[in-house]
């Protein structure tokens, strides 16, 4: 059966992603000066006499400065917490606050005159900002938990896409993020897209059970299965460090187990024969969530340290 809104929350990788990714990318050469994997160090400094390189360095510095808008806000975490609690009003309020952050970020990055070699990456970042702003606007119109769940996963997907686009932009400026961190961001995006498909399928599946329409239940399940199959394909496309190969293979097995579960659940004569998953999710979904979280944490831990947390005034929140 497609994931229930509660099951989608086990766990929310988007919460782990947004601030970690942006804190690291925003402080890449401030806190990672010794980390050659972050694209920082003497080689970049020696090349600064080249006019094109100097322009890229200035733009990278401006991009780092723009990312500071994420330093002292709890809005994204508040959105995720409200989502987990199925608090629609809380999600609307947090989304409104987070929209201010994304709007400020968008304004700052659009003001940077990126070099020609970075224009394509910059345009992708602009598009992801627009997508996220639109999804955050959609949350303002959400009236029930099901609608809010669908929209919040659209926000999470857009936020991950924004971080992946930011990785590409940094690399085009000569400051690639650590490979493990790039893989972590791409994995977070892949899983969030799968969870978004599951959220979309939830209400149609429940409606099909209520009306006794087996064909409709199968069709709803196919939405989730399609998302899981795409998730598998995208895992295969990610360049993971060799040291996590066994974790990646286990994750793929766990995703396939979810696909098999979905197929088996609707391989029945009537909807009366369908056994619904527990409210907190099937065993297969819980196993995949745990495996994913462990892999995500391993990749994050492999990235160079980001340096000290920013100092934030108490009235504006705590560092991300």
User: What is the 3-class SS of the chain, one letter each residue?
Assistant: CCCCHHHHCCCCHHHHHHHHHHHHHHCHHHHCCCCHHHCCCHHHHHHHHCHHHHHHHHHHHHHHHHHHHHCCCCHHHHHHHHHHCCCHHHHHHHHHHHHHHHHHHHHHHHCCCCCHHHHHHHHHHHHHHHHHHHHHHHHCCCCCHHHHHHHHHHHHHHHHHHHHHHHHHHHHCCCCCCHHHHHHHHHHHHHHHHHHHHHHHHHHHHHHHHHCCHHHHHHHHHHHHHHHHHHHHHHHHCCCCHHHHHHHHHHHHHHHHHHHHHHHHCCCCCHHHCCCCCCCCCHHHHHHHHHHHHHHHHHHHHCCCCCCCCCCCHHHCCCC
**Average pLDDT estimate for 46-69:** 76
Q: How far apart are CA 132 and CA 293, in angstroms?
A: 24
Q: What is the pTM of this model?
A: 0.83
Model confidence band, residue 169 (pLDDT cutoffs 50, 70, 90)? very high
Chain centre distance of CA 85: 19
pLDDT by residue (tens digit) across 196-239? 999 999 999 999 999 999 999 999 999 999 999 999 999 999 99
pLDDT by residue (tens digit) across 300-314? 999 887 767 777 876
| 22-26, 113-117, 137-141, range with the lowest pLDDT | 22-26
pLDDT by residue (tens digit) across 97-133? 999 999 999 999 999 999 999 999 999 999 999 999 9
Q: How far apart are CA 129 and CA 106, in angstroms?
A: 6
How far is the CA of 21 from the CAs of 14, 211, 244, in angstroms? 10, 44, 19
Q: Is the peptide bond before 11 cis (omega within 30 degrees of 0)?
A: yes
CB within 8 A of 160, min separation 6: which ones? 14, 17, 18, 185, 188, 189, 192
Model confidence band, residue 54 (pLDDT cutoffs 50, 70, 90)? low
**Average pLDDT estimate for 272-296:** 94
Model confidence band, residue 22 (pLDDT cutoffs 50, 70, 90)? very low
Q: How far apart are CA 89 and CA 95, in angstroms?
A: 10
Q: Tell whether the model's pLDDT for residue 25 goes beyond 90.
A: no
Model confidence band, residue 52 (pLDDT cutoffs 50, 70, 90)? low
Nearest 5 degrees, angle CA 236-CA 238-CA 244? 90
């Amino acid at each position: 059966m497609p994931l229930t809104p509660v099951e989608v929350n086990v766990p929310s990788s988007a919460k782990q992603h947004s601030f970690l990714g942006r804190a690291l990318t925003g402080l890449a050469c401030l806190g990672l000066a010794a980390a050659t994997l972050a694209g920082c160090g003497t080689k970049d400094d020696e090349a600064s006499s080249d006019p094109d390189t100097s322009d890229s360095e200035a733009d990278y510095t401006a991009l780092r400065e723009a990312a500071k808008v994420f330093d002292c806000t709890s809005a994204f975490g508040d959105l995720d917490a409200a989502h987990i609690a199925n608090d629609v009003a809380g999600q609307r309020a947090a989304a409104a606050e987070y929209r201010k952050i994304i709007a400020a970020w968008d304004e700052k990055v659009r003001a940077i005159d990126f070099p020609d070699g970075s224009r394509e990456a910059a345009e992708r970042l602009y598009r992801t900002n627009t997508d996220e702003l639109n999804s955050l606007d959609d949350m303002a119109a959400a009236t029930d938990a099901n609608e809010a769940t669908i929209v919040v996963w659209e926000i999470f997907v857009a936020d991950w896409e924004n971080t992946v686009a930011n990785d590409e932009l940094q690399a085009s400026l000569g400051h690639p993020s650590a490979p493990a961190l790039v893989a972590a961001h791409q994995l977070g995006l892949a899983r969030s897209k799968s969870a978004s498909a599951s959220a979309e399928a939830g209400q149609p599946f429940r409606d099909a059970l209520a009306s006794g329409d087996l064909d409709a239940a199968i069709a709803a399940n196919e939405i989730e299965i399609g998302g899981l199959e795409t998730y598998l394909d995208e895992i295969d496309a990610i360049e993971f460090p060799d040291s996590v190969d066994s974790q990646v293979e286990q994750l793929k097995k766990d995703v396939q187990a979810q696909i098999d579960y979905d197929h088996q659940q609707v391989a029945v004569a009537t909807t009366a024969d369908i056994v619904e998953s527990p409210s907190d999710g099937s065993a297969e979904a819980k196993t995949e969530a745990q495996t994913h979280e462990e892999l995500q944490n391993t990749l994050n831990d492999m990235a160079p340290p980001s340096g000290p947390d920013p100092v934030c005034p108490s009235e504006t929140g705590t560092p991300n």
